[in-house]
Amino acid sequence: MISNEMQDSCDDTCQGMEPTAAEIKEAMIDNDTAGALADLFRALSDPTRVKIIYALLHRELCVHDISTALDMGQSAVSHQLRYLRNLRIVKRRKAGKTVFYSLDDDHIEQIFVQTLQHMKHG
């Protein structure tokens, strides 16, 4: 239960703060951007996908190599790669019959490495 004193202070408008709530509201990201960002973090919430991304930090890999590194079936790995590709986290390159996967761009690597460093910092 919130005390009357705390409730009264919560109803007051803060003065002298920059940026103001109105300025923050004006600069707020739109719903589509917020949804896309949530999708990225949702993709990173799965340990298998995290391991795939970690493997791809080192170099471009084919499905077989990823399957071997993760000790998983190729079908399961392909399913996760398709999910990551649809979110533009990984990209693919065909060389004959072989499909190689890599991280989509440097931003994905930076997000992943920074997050990993944060977790190890703890």
Which tens digit of pLDDT belongs to each residue from 31-53? 999 999 999 999 999 999 999 99
Percent of the chain with pLDDT over 70: 86
Q: What is the separation of C-alpha 120 from the centre of its chain, rounded to a whole number of angstroms?
A: 17
Sort 65 into a burial class: Cβ within 10 Å, 0-12 / 13-18 / 19+: middle
> Is the whole model's pTM more than 0.85, yes or no?
no
Residues 54-77: tens digit of each pLDDT: 999 999 999 999 999 999 999 999
